[in-house]
Homo-oligomer: A and B are copies of this chain.
């Protein structure tokens, strides 16, 4: 077996590159799909990295000193899997299961299935932003000296998220971050904007504060020197711009258009042209000696408390609860999109500046950094306005593919923000977060509930979303009340006398209570359910309410699609009879107005609930 010791001469490195090409072609041919040409361009870059620079113990992917590698051009997965074969963690038989049902070797790599993958890729322009998060963890928190290597394509440099990351990395002087760009000149459809003009990319990265290196990506000695230069660079992230040829090594496909994402037509001939299969093995350099992640402080959790009669905004409660949680758990970190004075994350930032990450107005990078931090075992809370989390929707989607455990907190939900108008109103956030696989969606209506949920969400799997409100609301619960995920609270009820159930969450809970008092006075007893757990939803309580009251009215400060109204339906999808349902939600495009005027204009205030409730109970129709 060839090891790192024997793979130190140029010819052997080049041989390894050829092996990676051959295996990329073989895997794609077996699958009948995949991206061999995009793998072949980067094969020499990968070979030198593996043999000489990537300090990683493949037997111990959790080794705290391991470097980290992110294949941002996730479609080049054949190359990654060929590398796994070369280091001996998968065998040839598994390599040939590529893209088949049940195989770990998916079309695009995911950490759900493979322990050596840091984050799911396949949506271009996401690898670098996530790697920035990992590098931040390495530099500011873990401090075990690891380096983060990212390999991306040239096409994906058109994604703005790459430049959010470039800005963030240089500002934070992430000299533990190396971006390797496989400039093969050809995108999916055809040539990129800049072709092989490496200088064009270098100018951009240099202007953004990066150290740049240009290199022939097929000259293994030059590549080796470039990696060495990257490793010795300080106070700046490094980009290696490598001129490569798509399909390198096989004349029929080399540097040709129209061959993206297609297995080679004659794989056997191509393999022969590359010198046939090899069975070289490579052992990457050892990781730095490092202890397990530094112990994180574990203090006592003292959740904030408020006095009865206080009006407290749930965003304020969020800030204070996060400080308390940060005191109890040293693994809690916070990030914000330059609005921490509004989201109230600033309370945490002031208390724990070492664990706070200012991401400026770059929501994609905000979420990506959270994903990167989570991949290293930290528990991130990332906040901005609920409306602006839509900017990071694709990153959230990919975080779900990764199975990343991250907390998102969206403030300024709904029309209740008032004068600022629709651009600032989170009105689609519940729909977005509910549709993410494995997500949890929480929407508190008072400060004590918020504080409890902030703590609870830290321990959940997957993507956890907390929706907070701008304005103050009265306390409805005591400080010791518990709020299990998947639960709800019946805030008022006359038992089986109830003729209507109003289901609300957040600001509309308070409107519902007002309406219920008035309807009760008119002889219509009303049950009010606080549906603070929007996903998962409390099926039992909703079903009981349906049985006992016959009709449900949902009311939400959100668009009518995908929010609380739809969530309630989840309780009735088991084939049983569904109660009569009606829904109040934001159906218009708001302008500017006071919060009360907004709730009224949208038809989700107490008055609207009363009218709709009467109509439903007395006439059996919905507004």
Contacts and interface: CB of A to CB of B under 8 A. Distances in A.
A120 interface: yes
Interface in A322-347: 336, 338-342, 346
A579 interface: yes
Interface string A422-442: 111001100110111110000
A566 B365 CA distance: 32
B113 A340 contact: no
A106 B425 CA distance: 13
A575 B341 contact: no
Interface in A553-597: 559, 561-563, 565-567, 569, 572-583, 588-589, 591-594, 597
Nearest to A597: B101
Which residue among A167, A342, A592 has the maximum number of chain B CB atoms within 10 Å of its CB? A592
A91 interface: no
Contacts of A3: none
A164 interface: yes
A189 B338 contact: yes
A137 to B, nearest CB: 20
Given A575-B580, A593-B101, A562 B434 contact: yes
A620 B362 contact: no
B583 A101 contact: no
A562 B163 CA distance: 32
Nearest to A358: B189
Given A387-B397, A423-B398, A188 B338 contact: yes
A551 interface: yes
Q: Taking each of A158, A339, A388, which has the highest tally of chain B beta carbons within 10 Å of its own beta carbon? A: A158
Contacts of A163: 160, 163
A592 B338 contact: no
18 contacts: A101-B591, A108-B420, A108-B421, A155-B360, A158-B167, A158-B360, A160-B160, A160-B161, A187-B360, A203-B207, A390-B397, A432-B432, A435-B561, A535-B561, A561-B567, A575-B582, A578-B580, A578-B581
Interface of A: 31, 33-34, 74, 98-103, 105-108, 110, 112-113, 120-125, 155-156, 158-164, 167, 171, 187-189, 192-193, 203-204, 206-208, 336, 338-342, 346, 358, 360-365, 387-388, 390-391, 393-394, 397-398, 400-401, 403, 418-424, 427-428, 431-432, 434-438, 535, 551, 559, 561-563, 565-567, 569, 572-583, 588-589, 591-594, 597, 601, 615-616, 619-622
Given A160-B163, A391-B394, A535-B561, 10 more contacts: A31-B419, A33-B419, A101-B597, A103-B591, A122-B423, A160-B160, A427-B437, A432-B432, A437-B589, A578-B581
6 smallest CB-CB distances across A and B, nearest first, come from: A160-B160, A122-B423, A578-B578, A207-B207, A562-B562, A431-B435
